[in-house]
Structure 1
Amino acid sequence: MFDPFKDYGQAGYLRNRYGEKDPEIIREMEHTLFRAGLGEALEHLAKCDVLAYADFLIVHRILFFAFYPWAGQDRAATAPEIAVSKAGTLFSHPMDARRAIEEGLRVGQDKAAMRQRPGEVMGWFAYGHPFLDGNGRTMLVVHSELCHRAGFSIEWHRTQKLAYLAALSAQIATPGHGILDEYLSPFVVDSAGRTHWGGVIGDLHGLDGRSAGNTVEGAYSDSRVAQKYQAFELKRGEALQRKR
């Protein structure tokens, strides 16, 4: 069980407002809240001339605050000393999450770059992984808005979850080689209105792989965790160097 706060027995999963522990109930409550808040989240993004890290946090808060009191706070605030992974893939250090998201937003708001490299943008978002939960849906909403502004849409309902997650994990581990761009290319279509694609993603139960589950690797002060993190970062850095 993913328990970064170490109080699951007393406070439930991630200190949710109801002290809920049942994974199925939590999954359904998250999805219900996601659908309920999606319209407001899309309205917020539509009003922003330029999307910033603060907007990423706001979208998460809109979607999940009714369930998680810490919604809208990133890992630098909620779990600054803890290394988090999923299915063997490490995410950024909490203090680097903002930088990763901002790099994704920088590329994603260049319309030509977004059309060419939508997978790279999603890869930066996923590597940043700023929240303890709700990353997949938050990323999906912001990414879809960036696609819309660049004049295209991605038909997420046609993607296959396991294949997508495999490509996403490879993109995180070896950035700069277009792995996720290649996977997403068959699903790129002409832009649709926010009402249309908002309805489509509202029906998705997330592409963040709850079945795999987040894992607490441990504290960065643990030498084993620090070495594992450094090795992962070195591999990512080498991949980016090869691209150049």
Structure 2
Amino acid sequence: MPDKYGVGQDSYCYPDSTVLCNKLGIRDEATLSEVERQLSMLAAESLDFSLPPYDLGYMQKIHHCLFSDLYEWAGELRTVGIAKQNTRFCQPEYMAKEADKIFKTMAAADWFEGRDRADLIVSVAEAYSELNVVHPFRDGNGRTQRILFEHLIMNAGFEISWWGIEEDQWLYANIAAYSCNLGPMEQVFENCIGQAIEP
């Protein structure tokens, strides 16, 4: 029975189900989705902003904080291949290497510090899109990556807010970026990145 990632039955789900095994024993997908959303929102409030360097381990810490109340595997890299429709994400055996290349590129760019807003939008749209293809966790990648990029953008000296971005716009931007069209993702960050933070 395929789930939203199209991997079918795997060790992360209850037998003959698309519902992820969870610490609360929830067997209904809609209920689990809502509980996950609520718990991760509460957990996000306890996350402190950190300065770079950032890396895959930093993402794992964010993921663990967001989802450890619900999933035993919170913060652990996934062990199964996943896809959404025609988008196939990085295979597990290559995730660490690919993520490391992306973080090294951002480090070499001084984490985008000193860029003006227009340059920052282009840079983070590209980095976000590349990291999204890695998709290192079985679930919760979007929330984890958005927090990472909040920290990255704030460190670069700009305000960031995801409010006002519709789910359809996110999906379209990610699908377009997978096909090497970064325009929609740049528009997302045009809408999300605010003014420079006053010193």
Question: Common fold, TM-score beyond 0.5?
Answer: yes
* Aligned-pair Cα RMSD in Å: 2.6
Pairwise CA distance, 1:130: 0.3
Amino acid at match of 1:136: G
TM-score normalised by length of structure 2 = 0.79
Pairwise CA distance, 1:131: 0.4
Runs of at least 4 residues off by over 6 Å: none
Pairwise CA distance, 1:52: 1.8
Conservation of the 8 A alpha-carbon contact between 2:154 and 2:160: no
| Alignment-derived partner of residue 180 in structure 1 | 185
Cα–Cα, structure 1 residues 49 and 117, in superposed 2: closer, same or farther, change >3 Å? closer
Note the 1:1-244 alignment, pairs <5 A.
1-2=2-3, 3-5=9-11, 8-9=14-15, 13-41=19-47, 43=48, 45-46=49-50, 48-75=51-78, 79=79, 82-108=80-106, 109-111=111-113, 112=115, 114-174=120-180, 177-191=182-196
Pairwise CA distance, 1:110: 2.9
Amino acid at match of 1:165: L
Pairwise CA distance, 1:183: 4.1
Question: What CA distance in whole angstroms lies between the structure 2 residues aligned with 1:6 and 1:31?
Answer: 18
Helix, strand or coil at the partner of 1:17: coil
The structure richer in helix per residue is 1
Aligned length: 184
Task: List alignment gaps of at least 5 residues for structure 1.
Answer: 194-244
Question: What CA distance in whole angstroms lies between the structure 1 residues aligned with 2:12 and 2:140?
Answer: 19
| Alignment-derived partner of residue 226 in structure 1 | none
Pairwise CA distance, 1:162: 0.7
- Higher RCO (C-alpha under 8 Å, 6+ residues apart): 1
Conservation of the 8 A alpha-carbon contact between 1:20 and 1:26: yes
Task: List alignment gaps of at least 5 residues for structure 2.
Answer: 4-8
TM-score normalised by length of structure 1 = 0.66
Pairwise CA distance, 1:99: 3.1
Conservation of the 8 A alpha-carbon contact between 2:121 and 2:189: no
> Deviations 1:184-213 (Å, cap 9, x if unpaired)?
3244311469xxxxxxxxxxxxxxxxxxxx
Pairwise CA distance, 1:87: 2.7
The share of aligned pairs that are identical, in percent, is 22
Conservation of the 8 A alpha-carbon contact between 2:163 and 2:192: no
Question: What CA distance in whole angstroms lies between the structure 1 residues aligned with 2:12 and 2:155?
Answer: 41
Pairwise CA distance, 1:127: 0.5
Amino acid at match of 1:185: E
Helix, strand or coil at the partner of 1:117: helix
Cα–Cα, structure 1 residues 69 and 150, in superposed 2: closer, same or farther, change >3 Å? same
Pairwise CA distance, 1:114: 4.1
